[in-house]
């Protein structure tokens, strides 16, 4: 294996681009998650049922996954810059229209289109950030970009709830639109050189075949399993605390903030490990084995709230450490298909979130939260197993070093 460059020998990181990318990820994620505190208000305002308003997230997720699939290939065929700037601009326009909509179906339409615009941006910005740094910087670069998305849980949702007291859910959507416009301006300013306008493979019909060559499909399966492990707790941790300890909604605010902090810190630490340890796939596998070990006591050992919150912090910290190694491995593909591969990754992640919601709902009905630990551990072991399967016969492929 070639000797990895020392940190001093690596070029300077493109911090301005990474900051704009993180803001864009924050705005894209906030376009959906900022609705969480206002489901009751929205159902009353729009004269519809609470479950119907809650199901807006399903349409957003599906549109997000489909748009990522198409935008990734489109960015390789034409250029990344239109997606990098147009995606946040589209999010901003859709959020304005959501704030102006007077019926549920109008909100559903614009929220779904907003999810599509967000999906058109997220995979492509990962490809662009990967292209602007050396291989042994990609874990850290992508970790910082993903931290923008993680900040939505720590800062975005509580801030939306606080602001919403004064300006309502419609005003919060306008705030998200302003963030998206700021991200578009930042990306316009930082992607103006020729690197941002690279063309990928000529002829998009072969793009998906080329993108799925080598171990890429296995990496996507790893990512889907990892997202199920993460999303099982991200979706159900608050409910787990409420049911187990009879906590009020207000009482879970601090535990959820600590959970989000563990996600951010784990992502940043995972970026460091992905760039410094020699084999990223083994780094991913080690994190997922740790996730499997933490999952069992998280849902099975409940002596008190403080213990469960500490286990939740540890679980999400260890699980999040796997993500940068996976993303850097996926980015280690030819430039001509990088956008397609990372767009497919976002699509796979969307399936992971939907799978977690479905599996978690089924498990809660069948066994309650006692079944969550074994389920999460099984998915983590599956992810680790995919990571250590021998690489294809043509060579090491992406991510091994």
Residues of the chain above pLDDT 70, percent: 88
Residues of the chain above pLDDT 90, percent: 38
pLDDT of residue 126: 86
Query: Do 182 and 239 reside in the same domain of the chain?
Result: no
pLDDT of residue 133: 86
Query: pLDDT digit string (tens) for 244-282?
Result: 898 876 777 788 888 888 988 999 999 999 999 889 999
Query: Do 149 and 261 reside in the same domain of the chain?
Result: no
Query: Do 310 and 228 reside in the same domain of the chain?
Result: yes
Say if 6 falls within a structural domain: no
Say if 4 falls within a structural domain: no
pLDDT of residue 315: 96
Query: Do 77 and 226 reside in the same domain of the chain?
Result: no
Say if 1 falls within a structural domain: no
Residue at which a domain ends, from 139, 171, 199: 199
pLDDT of residue 201: 42
Query: pLDDT digit string (tens) for 381-398?
Result: 999 999 987 644 444 445
Count of the separate structural domains present in the chain:
2
Say if 301 falls within a structural domain: yes
Say if 80 falls within a structural domain: yes
Query: Do 23 and 87 reside in the same domain of the chain?
Result: yes
Top pLDDT among 155 and 166 is at 166
Top pLDDT among 320 and 164 is at 320
Can you give the pTM of this predicted structure?
Answer: 0.77
pLDDT at 222 over 60: yes
Query: Do 29 and 132 reside in the same domain of the chain?
Result: yes
Residue at which a domain ends, from 143, 169, 199: 199
CATH of the domain at 102: 1.20.1250.20
Query: Do 275 and 133 reside in the same domain of the chain?
Result: no
pLDDT of residue 197: 43
Query: Do 109 and 232 reside in the same domain of the chain?
Result: no
Query: Do 60 and 154 reside in the same domain of the chain?
Result: yes
Query: pLDDT digit string (tens) for 2-45?
Result: 445 555 567 788 899 999 999 999 999 888 877 777 777 888 88
Query: Do 219 and 190 reside in the same domain of the chain?
Result: no
Query: Do 141 and 219 reside in the same domain of the chain?
Result: no
Say if 166 falls within a structural domain: yes
The 3-class SS string of the chain reads CCCCCCHHHCCCCCHHHHHHHHHHHHHHHHHHHCCHHHHHHHHHHCCCCHHHHHCHHHHHHHHHHHHHHHHHHHHHHCCCHHHHHHHHHHHHHHHHHHHHCCCHHHHHHHHHHHHHHHHHHHHHHHHHHHHCCCHHHHHHHHHHHHHHHHHHHHHHHHHHHHHHHHHHHHHHHHHHHHHHHHHHHHHHHHCCCHHHHCCCCCCHHHHHHHHCCCCHHHHHHHHHHHHHHHHHHHHHHHHHHHHHHCCCCHHHHHHHHHHHHHHHHHHHHHHHHHHHCCCHHHHHHHHHHHHHHHHHHHHHCCCCHHHHHHHHHHHHHHHHCHHHHHHHHHHCCCHHHHHHHHHHHHHHHHHHHHHHHHHHHHHHHHCHHHHHHHHHHHHHHHHHHHHHCCCCCCCCCCCCC
Residue at which a domain ends, from 177, 199, 221: 199
Say if 362 falls within a structural domain: yes
In terms of residue numbers, what domain contains 368?
Answer: 213-390
Query: pLDDT digit string (tens) for 110-159?
Result: 999 999 999 999 889 988 988 888 888 888 888 888 888 878 767 777 77
Say if 2 falls within a structural domain: no
pLDDT of residue 351: 83
Judged by average pLDDT, the poorest of 20-24, 25-29, 160-164, 215-219 is 160-164
Query: Do 79 and 228 reside in the same domain of the chain?
Result: no
């Amino acid at each position: 294996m070639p000797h990895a460059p020392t940190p001093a020998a690596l070029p300077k990181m493109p911090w301005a681009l990474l900051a704009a990318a993180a803001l864009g990820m924050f705005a894209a994620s906030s376009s959906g998650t900022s609705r969480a505190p206002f489901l009751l208000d929205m159902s009353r305002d729009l004269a519809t049922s609470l479950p119907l308003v809650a199901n807006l997230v399903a349409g957003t997720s599906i549109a997000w996954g489909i748009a990522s699939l198409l935008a990734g290939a489109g960015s390789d065929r034409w250029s990344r810059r239109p997606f990098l700037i147009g995606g946040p601009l589209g999010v901003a326009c859709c959020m304005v229209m959501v704030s102006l909509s007077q019926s549920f179906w109008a909100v559903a339409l614009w929220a779904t289109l907003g999810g599509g615009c967000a999906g058109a941006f997220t995979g492509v910005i990962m490809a662009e950030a990967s292209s602007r740094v050396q291989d042994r910087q990609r874990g850290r670069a992508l970790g910082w970009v993903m931290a923008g998305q993680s900040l939505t849980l720590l800062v975005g949702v509580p801030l939306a709830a606080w602001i919403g007291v004064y300006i309502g859910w419609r005003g919060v959507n306008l705030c998200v639109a302003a963030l998206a416009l700021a991200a578009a301006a930042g990306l316009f300013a930082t992607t103006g050189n020729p690197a941002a306008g690279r063309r990928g493979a000529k002829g998009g019909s072969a793009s998906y075949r080329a993108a799925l060559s080598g171990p890429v499909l296995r990496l996507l399966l790893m990512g889907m399993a990892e997202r199920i492990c993460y999303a099982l707790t991200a979706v159900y941790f608050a409910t787990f605390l409420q049911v187990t300890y009879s906590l009020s909604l207000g009482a879970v605010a601090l535990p959820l903030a600590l959970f989000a902090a563990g996600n951010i810190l784990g992502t940043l630490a995972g970026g460091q490990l992905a760039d410094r340890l020699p084999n990223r796939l083994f780094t991913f596998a080690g994190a997922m084995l740790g996730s499997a070990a933490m999952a069992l006591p998280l849902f099975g050992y409940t002596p008190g709230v403080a213990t469960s919150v500490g286990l939740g912090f540890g679980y999400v910290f260890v699980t999040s450490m796997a993500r940068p190694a996976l993303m850097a491995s996926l980015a280690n593909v030819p430039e001509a298909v990088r956008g397609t591969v990372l767009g497919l990754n976002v699509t796979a992640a969307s399936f992971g979130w939907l799978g977690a919601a479905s599996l978690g709902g089924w498990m809660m009905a069948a066994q309650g939260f006692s079944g969550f630990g074994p389920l999460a551990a099984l998915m983590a072991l599956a992810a680790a197993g995919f990571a250590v399967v021998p690489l294809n016969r043509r060579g090491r492929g992406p991510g091994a070093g």
